[in-house]
Amino acid sequence: MNIFKSVKEAVSVKDAASFYGIKVNRNGMCICPFHNDRNPSMKVDHRFHCFGCQEDGDVIDFVGKLFSLKPLEAARKLADDFHIRTENLDTPLGIKKRMNSTERIMSAKIREERDFKELTDYAISVICDFHRYWWKVREAELPDRDGEWSDLFCTAVENINLATEWLKVLENGEEDEKRELLNHICN
């Protein structure tokens, strides 16, 4: 089974029109998005037909026209938006789509970069929170009820210089420095 057949079996034009923000009435009529329409002149069901501009077709034609996409791009958009599994489907030429090694490497690299950025952002937020806490407690300079400084304050005082250095590296350092620091912090 190919992607076109799977999408057409899974999604009607009525479902797609509603999903993409076009109001469809009980009779399956809607205002045509392809011409300046004031009154509902398009009938949508498993196919669509506009009685005003004469546009006609299936769900892939509809989405292709709506978003200015080629048929394969429209089918992929529908598959993505409606969560239709396509990894085992044949392409229109009957050849299974396989990700070549370069695509796999690039995909892994993109995931790694995204994960690295998320980890860096998280570390920066934690260190900034640490700084805010340190300054807040420092301003108060009050011991707890027993006359003792809190463990958090003592830890903050002991580590404020280290946290400041880490923050500088994470905000302004080279990527290698950031990776080395994050490996050190996480291990």
Where along the chain do its domains lie? 3-81, 101-186
């989405």: which residue's tokens? Answer: 63
Q: What CA–CA distances, in Å, run from 187 to 27, 84, 156, 181?
A: 62, 40, 20, 10
Q: Give the per-residue pLDDT at 150.
A: 61
Low-confidence spans in the chain with pLDDT less than 70: 1, 86-112, 114-116, 119-122, 125-126, 128-157, 159, 185-187
pTM above 0.95, yes or no: no
Q: Which residues contact 21 (CB under 8 A, 6 or more apart)?
A: none
Give me the amino acid identity at 141. Answer: E
Name the CATH superfamily housing domain 3-81: Zinc finger, CHC2-typedomain (3.90.580.10)
| CA proximity to 22, closest of 51, 52, 59 | 59
Q: What CA–CA distances, in Å, run from 79 to 29, 72, 181?
A: 24, 10, 41
Q: Give the per-residue pLDDT at 91.
A: 45
Over the Cα atoms of the chain, what is R_g? 29
Q: Give the per-residue pLDDT at 167.
A: 76
